[in-house]
């Protein structure tokens, strides 16, 4: 089964631990890298095994443009899952550019977005509950 490769960047340590712990439960999702420093994110996207499907980053709307431009220079059609500073809301940026409001950030919502087909019509993915 192909695995979705995820990089987590600049997310506060406690939230990063929660996200990696949750995503680690799913065999079809692989944490391909983690960093707490934004510049290291770009190194992860260029290094060996840099075939990353989605980047999870804690940032503001204003910062997504800068991050997106730098990621687009390195990866074709990347997806950035941005988590707000208060960790209450999340947004999926399919850098074509396209922004999809995901609503309330939850563990199930994040997994659903990571698993979603990047060519989807723009509708929000349904929530799947894995035991």
Q: Give the per-residue pLDDT at 75.
A: 63
In a domain, 39, yes or no: yes
Q: Which of 66, 84, 68 is nearest to 76 (CA)?
A: 68
Expressed as residue numbers, the domain containing 29 is 4-91
Q: Give the per-residue pLDDT at 70.
A: 75
Is-above-0.75 flag for pTM? Answer: no
In a domain, 62, yes or no: yes
Q: How do the pLDDT tens digits run along the chain, 131 residues long?
A: 778 888 888 888 888 999 999 999 999 999 988 888 888 887 777 766 667 778 888 887 778 777 777 777 666 666 778 888 788 888 887 766 556 777 788 888 888 888 875 444 444 444 444 43
CATH of the domain at 65: 3.40.50.2300
In a domain, 80, yes or no: yes
Count up the domains in the chain and report the number.
1
Q: Distance between CA atoms of 111 and 23, rounded to whole angstroms?
A: 7
Q: Distance between CA atoms of 44 and 22, rounded to whole angstroms?
A: 22
Q: Any residues with CB less than 8 A from the CB of 13 and at least 6 apart, and which?
A: 36
In a domain, 12, yes or no: yes
In a domain, 67, yes or no: yes
């Amino acid at each position: 089964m192909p695995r979705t490769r995820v990089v987590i960047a600049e997310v506060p340590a406690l939230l990063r631990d929660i996200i990696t712990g949750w995503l680690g439960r799913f065999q079809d999702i692989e944490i391909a890298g983690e960093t707490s420093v934004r510049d290291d994110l770009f190194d992860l996207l260029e290094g060996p095994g840099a075939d990353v499907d989605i980047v999870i980053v804690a940032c503001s709307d204003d910062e997504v443009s800068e991050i997106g431009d730098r990621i687009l220079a390195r990866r074709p059609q990347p997806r950035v899952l941005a988590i707000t500073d208060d960790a209450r809301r999340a947004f999926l940026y399919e850098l074509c550019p396209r922004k999809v409001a995901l609503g309330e950030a939850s563990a199930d919502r994040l997994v659903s977005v990571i698993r979603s087909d990047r060519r989807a019509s723009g509708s929000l993915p349904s929530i799947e509950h894995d035991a």
